[in-house]
Amino acid sequence: MAKLYFRHGTMSSGKSLNLLAVAHNYEQKGERIVVIRPRIDERFGAEAVASRVGISRDADILVDEGSTLDRKLIAGAACVLVDEAQFLSPAVVDQLREITWDLDVPVICYGLRTDFRTRAFAGSARLLEVADAIEEVKTVCFFCNRKAIFNLRISSGGAVVDGPQIELGADDRYRPVCGQCYREKTQAGAQDLFREVSKS
Query: Is-contact 184 178, C-beta < 8 A?
Result: no
In a domain, 144, yes or no: no
Residue 122 belongs to what domain range? 4-136
Q: What local confidence, expressed as pLDDT, does residue 196 receive?
A: 46
Q: What local confidence, expressed as pLDDT, does residue 190 receive?
A: 43
Predicted TM-score (pTM) of this structure: 0.85
Q: What local confidence, expressed as pLDDT, does residue 197 receive?
A: 45
Looking at the structure, tell me whether residues 154 and 58 fall in a common domain. no
Q: Which of the residues 27, 84, 135, 167 is marked catalytic?
A: 84
Looking at the structure, tell me whether residues 90 and 182 fall in a common domain. no
Looking at the structure, tell me whether residues 131 and 187 fall in a common domain. no
Looking at the structure, tell me whether residues 107 and 156 fall in a common domain. no
Looking at the structure, tell me whether residues 37 and 127 fall in a common domain. yes
- Give yes or no: 42 in active site: no
Q: What local confidence, expressed as pLDDT, does residue 160 receive?
A: 74
Looking at the structure, tell me whether residues 28 and 119 fall in a common domain. yes
Looking at the structure, tell me whether residues 126 and 39 fall in a common domain. yes
Q: Which range has the worst mean pLDDT, 58-67, 109-118, 141-150, 169-178? A: 169-178
Contacts (Cβ under 8 Å, ≥6 apart) of 14: 51, 137, 139
How many domains does the chain fold into?
2
With a pLDDT cut of 70, the percent of the chain lying above it is 80
CATH number reported for the structural domain that contains residue 34 in this entry: 3.40.50.300
Answer with the one of 84, 108, 136 that is the final residue of a domain.
136
Q: What is the pLDDT of residues 99-132, one digit of tens each?
A: 999 999 999 999 999 999 999 999 999 999 999 9
**Cα–Cα distance for residue pair 147/53, rounded to 1 Å:** 21
DSSP designation for 86: G
**Mean pLDDT value across residues 180-184:** 93
Which residue from 112, 108, 107 is spatially nearest to 12, judged by alpha carbons?
A: 112
Q: What is the pLDDT of residues 33-78, one digit of tens each?
A: 999 999 876 665 566 676 666 677 888 999 998 999 999 999 999 9
Looking at the structure, tell me whether residues 29 and 79 fall in a common domain. yes
Looking at the structure, tell me whether residues 85 and 158 fall in a common domain. no
Which residue from 36, 41, 39, 40 is spatially nearest to 70, judged by alpha carbons?
A: 36
**Cα–Cα distance for residue pair 125/86, rounded to 1 Å:** 8
Q: What local confidence, expressed as pLDDT, does residue 40 receive?
A: 79
> Rounded to 10 degrees, what is the CA torsion of 41, 133, 120, 153?
-60
Looking at the structure, tell me whether residues 84 and 37 fall in a common domain. yes
> Phi/psi zone of residue 45: left (φ > 0), alpha (ψ -120 to 50 degrees), beta?
left
